[in-house]
Amino acid sequence: MDLDFTKLGGLLPAVIQDAASGEVLMLGFMNADAYAATQASGEVTFFSRSRNKLWRKGEQSGHVLKVREILVDCDVDSLVIRVDALGPGVCHEGYKSCFFRQLSPTGDTKLIAERKFDPKAVYGPSSGPSAGPSTGKDAR
């Protein structure tokens, strides 16, 4: 099947889901090269919009995403990738999931998860919440 990379500037959104629990872990983007690298390696590779290059999840942290299955939507322009997440978490702020805050109807946020690892120990002193607001663009 040919995926439709013509939308979103050549990118497909890829929702990353824990294969065992069903929890949504993160959202990333793939171009055709990232998708091909994911298929070839069995580990999730994304296209970094901020760095304008491919990056394999876990290349710095060791928190690798092993592909169990890839689902494609009806428009062939979005993916759900079910994975085995190797490591304590996928979020560069130290959480199991990048979705660790809940929004109320008024826009207030509530922390709904516990930090699983120290991001400074994994990524260095310039990472994590003390490094300023997260852009949400790339979870290392």
Q: Is residue 2 part of a domain?
A: no
Q: Is residue 138 part of a domain?
A: no
91, two tokens: 């979020």
Is 34 within the bounds of a domain?
yes
Per-residue confidence (pLDDT) for residue 128, from 0 to 100: 53
pLDDT surpasses 60 at 132: no
Both 126 and 73 in one domain: the answer is no
At residue 109, does pLDDT exceed 70? yes
Among left, alpha and beta (phi > 0; psi -120 to 50; other), residue 38 is alpha
User: Does 110 share its domain with 72?
Assistant: no
Give me the number of domains the chain comprises. Answer: 2
Same domain, yes or no: 63 and 118: no
Residues 13 and 54 in one domain: yes
Q: Is the pLDDT of residue 103 over 50?
A: yes
Name the region of 77 (left: φ>0; alpha: ψ -120 to 50; beta: rest). alpha
Are residues 27 and 72 both part of a single domain? Answer: yes
Check which CATH number belongs to the domain holding 42 and give it: 3.10.20.810
Quick check: is 91 in a domain? Answer: no
Kindly state whether residue 117 falls inside one of the protein's structural domains: yes
- Asked if residue 126 has pLDDT above 50, the reply is yes
Domain of 69 in residue numbering reads as 8-85
Q: For residue 67, tell me if it sits in a domain.
A: yes
| 12 vs 81: CA distance, rounded Å | 12
Residues pairing with 27 in the sheet: 15
With respect to residue 109, please indicate whether it lies within any of the assigned structural domains.
yes
Q: What is the mean pLDDT of residues 90-110?
A: 97
Q: What is the pLDDT of residues 26-72, one digit of tens each?
A: 999 999 999 999 999 999 999 999 999 999 999 889 999 999 999 99
* Site of tokens 């199991």: 96
What is the reported pTM?
A: 0.86
What's the pLDDT at 135?
A: 39
Q: Which helix (H) or strand (E) holds 103?
A: strand 101-103
Residue 12: inside a domain = yes
Of residues 137 and 120, which shows the higher confidence score? 120
**DSSP reduced 3-state for 41:** helix
Q: Give yes or no: residues 18 and 75 share one domain.
A: yes
CA-wise closest residue to 14 among 105, 103, 90: 90
The region of weakest confidence among 53-57, 92-96, 130-134 is 130-134
**CA–CA dist 80, 14 (Å, integer):** 6
Reported confidence tier of residue 127, pLDDT bands at 50, 70, 90: low
| pLDDT for 1 | 85
Check whether residue 78 and residue 117 sit in a common domain: no
pLDDT for residue 125? 80
Residue 53 bridge partners (DSSP): 48
